[in-house]
Amino acid sequence: MILHLTISKSKTFKPAIDGQTTCTILAQHDSIYVAGRYNKYSRTLSQTPWIIDGVRKADTSVEELIALPINKLVTSKCHVFLSSGREDVDVRTLGLGRPFVVEFRQPSRISYNPEEFLAIQREINMLTKDIRVRDLQQVTKEQSNQIKEGEEEKTKCYEALCYTDRQIDQAELDQILASVPNPLVIEQKTPIRVLHRRTLMTRQRSISDLVATVIDPYHFRLRLTTQAGAYVKEFVHGDFARTKPNLTMILDCFVDILELDVLAVNIDFPPMLDNQNDENNSLCDINEK
């Protein structure tokens, strides 16, 4: 069958324009990404601005101590701070620090010399004793994505100062912890302390390399390695049995954390720089309390 189509010309109407027509073209730079690692030595400093119901609870934050000095160089319109996890306000981050990336949007330019960021790094480290920055460098957008890749697979190392409500000695601690599977798989309901901002769910995480050193009959230091996303405080005290098993169950006595430190965030990002020699001597010793 052959179909015959008849196409008629449609009328085109030219709109009437009175006066002049103007066109505005805006041009702006792409975002730039600045990566590094930070140590946090304060137990009263939040990672991001701490604002509740419009009221600021602290004068500054890790984000501001890092991003604002960099922004004096790049003069961007705004920035976005990303890190490989986050520590609580009262937790220190020691060792080689926690990886972070800051995206600066609409910067004044997009190319910078490594020496410029080294100068900013030194400025940050001179301005405050609460944090320290290392390996500050410009990275590509694709490189910056590494900070979130393998989120479930990476591990973190911690040290906790713990308290027990009964006397316990080194021999008992060693014997009990030697019987714990390595790794120990735990199930954690969303902790009560973060329920206001986290979805209620049960997460399965692994704990490994549990080592305890007695300080006195009621105190010991605990070192452990965890899968990313594990809540260490709740693993120790149990969070009203919302974390199972927990250290309180394992030791058969009440245990709580008095102090907690992050010793390592095991992610290979960003690349370590060769210009850190003058900074390394000032890094916090993980054994210094």
The tokens describing 5, both together, are 């189509």
Task: Decide if pLDDT at 282 tops 50.
Answer: no
d(CA 47, CA 52): 14
Strand, coil or helix: 217: coil
Tell me which of 6 and 95 has the higher pLDDT.
95
209 belongs to the catalytic site: no
- Check 88, 90, 130, 256 and give the catalytic one: 88
**pTM of this prediction?**
0.85
Task: Decide if pLDDT at 88 tops 80.
Answer: yes
Rounded mean pLDDT of the chain? Answer: 89
d(CA 160, CA 15): 75
Q: What is the pLDDT of residue 288?
A: 41
d(CA 104, CA 28): 12
- H-run or E-run covering 184: strand 184-189
Do β-strands 91-105 and 255-266 pair in parallel, antiparallel, or remain unpaired? parallel
Task: Decide if pLDDT at 279 tops 70.
Answer: no
- Residue 26's pLDDT band, with cuts at 50, 70 and 90, is confident
Domain(s) labelled CATH 3.30.70.2510 in the chain stretch across 32-152
Enter the CATH code of domain 156-265: 3.30.70.3190
Q: What is the pLDDT of residue 17?
A: 64
User: Which range is least confidently modeled, 2-11, 112-121, 156-165, 189-198?
Assistant: 2-11
Q: What is the pLDDT of residue 8?
A: 53
Task: Decide if pLDDT at 7 tops 70.
Answer: no
Task: Decide if pLDDT at 150 tops 80.
Answer: no
Domain(s) labelled CATH 3.30.70.3190 in the chain stretch across 156-265
Q: What is the pLDDT of residue 280?
A: 45
C-alpha distance from residue 28 to each of 68, 81, 107, 155, 223 (Å): 21, 21, 8, 39, 49
Mean pLDDT of 256-272: 95
Hey, which CATH number is domain 32-152, 3.30.70.2510, 3.40.50.300, 3.40.50.150, 3.20.20.70? Answer: 3.30.70.2510
d(CA 217, CA 213): 11
- Residue 12's pLDDT band, with cuts at 50, 70 and 90, is low
Task: Decide if pLDDT at 52 tops 90.
Answer: no
Instruction: For residue 218, give the DSSP letter.
Output: T
